[in-house]
Copies of this chain bind each other. A is one copy, B any other.
Amino acid sequence: MNDALAKSAAELDRIGDGSQPAVSSDLSYPPIERPRASFEPVAMQHFLDGEHRPVRELVKQIVTQPEFRYFAGTDHLAFRRQVLAWTKRLADAGIGRIFMPKNFGGEEDPAKFMAAGETLGFHDLSLLIKFGVQFGLFAGSIQRLGTESHHRKYLVDAASCQLMGCFAMTEIGHGSNVQALETTAVYDPTHEQFIIHSPTFSAGKAYIGNAASDARLAIVFAQLAIGGEQQGVHAFLVPLRDESSRPLPGIAIEDDGYKMGLNGVDNGRIWFDHIRVPRTALLNRFADVDSAGKYQSQIKSAGARFFTMIGTLVGGRIAIAASGNSAAKAGLTIAIRYAARRRQFGPGKPPGKETLLLDYPATQRRLMPLLANAYAVDFALKHLVALSAKTPDGASRAIETLAAGLKAWSAWNTTRTIQAGRESCGGEGYIAANRFAALKADTDVFATFEGDNTVLMQLVAKNLLTDLKDHLKDLRPVQLTGFLLNKKMSGFTRTMPLFTLNTSRYHLLDANVQLSYFKHRESGLLLQVGGAFRRLIKNREMDAYTAFTRLQPELLELADAYVEREILERFTAVVENASDRTLHTPLRRLRDLFALYRLELHKGWYLENGVMSGFKAKAISRLVTALCADLRQDAVALVDAFGIPDSCLAARIAL
C-alpha cells in the first residue's frame, strides 16, 4: 500500500488519458504457499487410491479430455445433451460394464465400479448421477432383480447406453415409505399380462432420472395383485418410449423442469394408464408368477422379500456417500488452497504484510475438522465397500445399517463442508467460476435421494434396537449391561473417576480412550432409548409405531453416535495398519482431530452423564485448537493428496 501510494505520487506529472493499461502486470492472485509437509502428497494419494488406482486413473484420463470441459451455458436442455454424450463416452470406455457378469463381458467387480463412481464425483455431478442412474440403478437392478433372460436381453445394451433406462420407484406421494407405493400391477391371467397403472395423481413416479427425455425402458416398482390378493411391491420392466423417443400410448410424462442443481439430468414424472406388459416383464429373481397366475417366492416373509428387493439401494447409498465426499474434497481443496494465498489484516509490522487466512485460528478451526472428516468418511466407506463386496448380494442387516448411516452422515457432512468452504472464500466463493455454486447446488439433494437422511438415521436406530432386542431375549438386565459393555465399551466405567478427570495430552490422544468415549455414548444412548421404548409400550400401552415416533429425537442421536463410532473404529484401524509409515503422523493427527472434535461437539452429553469433567472438556477444546494448528503445515499437501485434476477443480482461486 505504501509503495503503491509513493508510486502514484511520483506519477503525478503523467496525465491519465486512458492510453496506459489500467492494470499492471500482476494479473492474478499470488501463488499458493506450499510449505514443506511432513509427508509426500503422492504417497498419500497412492494410499487413498488403494487397489483401485488404475480405474481411478482411467476415469481421470477420460474426464480431463477437452470435451469434458464443464458445460458453461444456462440452457439446461443443452446441458442434458452434453451429459448424455459424456455418459456414452464412459460407456465406450467400458466403465458401465465393470459390475456386469463376466459372461456378458463384465468384470463382476462392484468395488471397482464404486471407485469409478467415487472418482467421477470430482467432475460434474450431473454426469455422476446420470452414470449412477443408467449403470447402477437401471442396469444394476436388471442384474440384481432379474434372471438370465432379462440379463441376456438388456444388460449389454444398458451398459453400452444403446438402451437408456430409468429406475421408477419414488412417487409423488411416497418417497420414503416405498412399501406404500400406489402404482398397481394387476395380473391378468387371460392374457398373461400385468397391467401397470397409476390410480391417482400422487401415484405418479417422481424425480425419475432419465425419465424426462432419454429413457426408453423403465423399471417400475408397483403393488402386485393377483386375483385380488396383494403380494407387495415388485419391479417390472415397462417400455416408455418408442425408437424415436416418443412416449408410448398410455404413458404420461412430465418434465421435472429446472432444479436447484443437477440440471444436466433429465428428471421427470411418469403416470401409467393401464399399461399391459407380458408376464416376463416381472423381474423375477426373488418372486415369480407362473402362467396359471400362481405367485411363488423362495422368500416366505413379505417383509424379507421387500427388503431383499430394495437391496439395490444399498449400493446406491454407498455411491452417494462416496461421491458426495468427493465433492466435499473438491470444496476443501479450493478453500484450503485459497486460504494459502489470500491475506487479510495483519500486525502492521512490516507494513503491508498481511496474514494468510490459513494462519488464523478461526480459519483453521473452520476447515481442519472438515478435512479430517473427509479422510474419515473415505476410510469408513472403503471398509463398507469391501464388506459389501464380500457379502452375497451385498446386503445384510449390518451392511444395510452401516450404508444407511454413512450415507446420511456423509451427505450432511458434504453440505456442511461445502458451505464452510464457500464462506471461507468470501466473495470469490460466490462467483460461479470458482465452483462452489455447482458443488453446493448439485450436492444439496444428496441428503434426500437414495433415502431421506432423517429417515435413514431412523432406520439405523431401528436396526440397533432390533439387535438389542434379539439379545434381550436371552439376557437378564444384569447380563444386558454386561453385553453392552463388552460389545461396545472397553470397560472404562470401572475406573471412571480417574478417567473422567484425566486431562493429559497423552491420555486424550490415546486411541482407546477416544474410542471408549464414542462407545460409551453409543451404548448409553442405546440403553436409554431401548429402556424408554419398552416403558412406552409396556406401561403406556403404545403401539411400536407410536412409541418409535415419540422417541425420534433420541433415536436420531443414537444413530449419529453409532455412525461416528463406526467411523472412528475404521480410522483407527487405518492408522494402525498403514504400511507406509511416513504417512503415520498426518493420519494420526487427522484421526485425533476427528475424534476430539466430535467429543467437543458432544461434550454436553458427556458432561450431563457425568463421564467427563468440566476441566477435561476444556482440555479437549484446547487440544482441538492445537491439532488444527498442527495440521496447518500439512493442510495444502493433504488436499493435494486427494488428486483432483485441475480441470475438474476448475476454480481460478485454487489453481
Contacts and interface: CB of A to CB of B under 8 A. Distances in A.
Given A188-B12, A275-B16, A617 B608 contact: yes
Contacts of A553: 361-362, 365, 625
A553 B366 CA distance: 10
Given A257-B433, A440-B444, A22 B250 contact: yes
Contacts of A198: 22-23
Given A1-B182, A430-B445, 4 more contacts: A22-B251, A22-B271, A23-B200, A261-B430
Tell me the interface secondary structure of chain A in the complex.
mixed
Contact of A195 (B16, B260, B432, B440): B16
Given A201-B26, A347-B546, A223 B361 contact: no
A545 B419 CA distance: 28
A512 to B, nearest CB: 23
A217 B454 CA distance: 51
A355 B549 contact: yes
Nearest to A452: B426
Interface stretch (A3-11, A51-59, A133-141): A3-11
Contact of A258 (B11, B14, B360, B432): B432
Interface stretch (A118-126, A168-176, A482-490): A168-176
Interface stretch (A203-211, A375-383, A533-541, A576-584): A203-211
Interface string A364-377: 01100000000000
A604 B492 CA distance: 22
- Of A261, A365, A550, A604, the most chain B CB neighbours within 10 A belong to A604
A344 B448 CA distance: 14
A74 B1 CA distance: 41
B16 A276 contact: yes
Instruction: Give the number of times this chain occurs in the complex, counting copies.
Output: 2
Nearest to A557: B621
A280 interface: no
Interface in A256-284: 256-261, 271-276
Nearest to A197: B8
- Of A261, A274, A454, the most chain B CB neighbours within 10 A belong to A274
Contacts of A572: none
A225 B252 CA distance: 71
Interface in A571-594: none
Interface string A539-558: 00001011001111100100
A252 B8 contact: no
Interface string A415-451: 1000100110011011111001100110011011100
A18 interface: yes
Interface string A225-266: 100101000000000000000001111100011111100000
B423 A448 contact: yes
A20 interface: yes
26 contacts: A8-B199, A11-B197, A14-B274, A16-B273, A20-B273, A22-B271, A23-B200, A23-B252, A24-B199, A24-B201, A176-B426, A177-B344, A180-B354, A206-B427, A257-B432, A257-B433, A258-B432, A259-B437, A260-B431, A260-B440, A261-B430, A419-B419, A427-B448, A603-B604, A603-B608, A608-B617
A409 to B, nearest CB: 14
B203 A436 contact: no
Contacts of A614: 607-610
A314 B6 CA distance: 32
A137 to B, nearest CB: 15
A9 B361 contact: no
Given A22-B252, A449-B427, A604-B617, A274 B11 contact: yes
B415 A430 contact: no
Given A197-B16, A543-B347, A1 B180 contact: yes
A76 interface: yes
What 8 A-B pairs come out closest when comparing CB atoms? A16-B274, A18-B249, A608-B614, A18-B250, A607-B607, A260-B437, A74-B74, A22-B273
A392 interface: no
A258 B74 contact: yes
A202 interface: yes
B430 A260 contact: yes
A549 B361 contact: yes
Contacts of A429: 448
A425 to B, nearest CB: 9
Interface in A27-61: 27-29
A12 B225 CA distance: 11
Contacts of A174: 344
A470 interface: no
A21 B608 contact: no
Contacts of A14: 274
A167 to B, nearest CB: 14
Nearest to A2: B230
Given A427-B448, A604-B607, A22 B344 contact: no
Nearest to A425: B448
